[in-house]
Amino acid sequence: MTVNLFSDTQTRPPEGMRRAMYEAEVGDEQRFADPTVNALQERVAQLLGTEAALFLPSGTMCNAIAFRLHIRPGGDEVLLDRTAHPRVAEAGGPGSISGAQLTLLDGDGGIFTPDQLRAAIHPAGDRYGPRTRLVSVEQTTNMGGGRIWPLQTVRGVVSVAREHGLRAHLDGARLLNAVVATGVPASEWAAGFDTAWIDFTKGLGAPVGACLAASRELIEEAWRYKQMWGGAMRQAGIVAAAGLYALDHHVERLAEDHANARALADGLAEIPGVRLDASRVESNIVIFEVDDAMALTGALYEAGVEVTPLGPQRIRMVTHLDVDRAGCERAVAVVREALAA
């Protein structure tokens, strides 16, 4: 059996989730006639403490639409970490479809400070620089190694944004991992942000979908872009049901993924040739360095362990619903053998 640590997107919907999809009541979501989509949107709005929410096909579309909602034509800029998903993994969408110039901050593990944000903001009235319009925070950080922004840092960033009249966006692809790891409710993490979203296809284990939450006014406007960009669906309740099932059954269990990632990190850190500070592993993502990441990735693949090489020396492993402790132990053993060979 393969141990798939490539990503938490690799899960297959379990039987109970498939049954919920089979049994879902559906209708035309574009006419607000899909009760399952409506229920999911209400659930997410409540979870994140906003007036409304919008079901979308992907987290990428949540980021794209949210950026477009905040960015005005004419040189507006978004401040975000160098490793943030919209910059590294959305095919240039922020520039080409949302109209945003991205200005990168050098955070630590994807986390920048309120002072770093303040120092990067172009002053109002400066007609030479781009107009700073939006700050985007990624909780947990993906390419930063699954790190969790401290609540105080998030609050500080939001408060600097407010001081300078910026909008604030929370990329919460793995927000619920942070919720489970810290005990801080999702609505507290999302407080003060203009837009926030969660993904159902990461640790939550659903096959499709994400949900963007915001004020009623912004969500109404978001609907325009959902329609314009081809994200408006019909009997989408069949996939929204998977999201509802995930919120009912797959949130608390994220703690297991975190414990497995910790065990993985502790095991890897002891292997000669692996460079990893296991104390920096806070959720379900483990990023470490070796001399030759491509060679190790290939050797692991041959032995039935799938991982992601992030660069010439960096490898990412992600735990999820379909990987258990034994799988993590096997991955550690295989890495040890491969590096010894």
Binding site for ligand PLP (CB under 6 A): 58-60, 63, 85, 138, 142, 171, 173, 199, 201-202, 210
Q: Give exposure, 29-40, as e/b (b: 16+ Cβ within 10 Å).
A: beeeebebbbbb
Q: State the nearest-atom distance from the C-beta of 8 to ligand PLP, in Å.
A: 9
Q: State the nearest-atom distance from the C-beta of 112 to ligand PLP, in Å.
A: 15
Direct distance between the N- and C-terminal alpha carbons of the chain, in angstroms, rounded to an integer: 22
318/332 with CB nearer ligand PLP: 318
93/309 with CB nearer ligand PLP: 93
29/199 with CB nearer ligand PLP: 199
58/308 with CB nearer ligand PLP: 58
Q: State the nearest-atom distance from the C-beta of 87 to ligand PLP, in Å.
A: 10
86/267 with CB nearer ligand PLP: 86
209/267 with CB nearer ligand PLP: 209
Ranked by CB distance to ligand PLP, the top (closest) residue is 59
Q: State the nearest-atom distance from the C-beta of 298 to ligand PLP, in Å.
A: 25
Q: State the nearest-atom distance from the C-beta of 146 to ligand PLP, in Å.
A: 10
Question: Are 62 and 231 in contact, with CB atoms under 8 Å apart?
Answer: no
33/182 with CB nearer ligand PLP: 182
How far, in Å, CA of 339 to CA of 229, rounded? Answer: 47
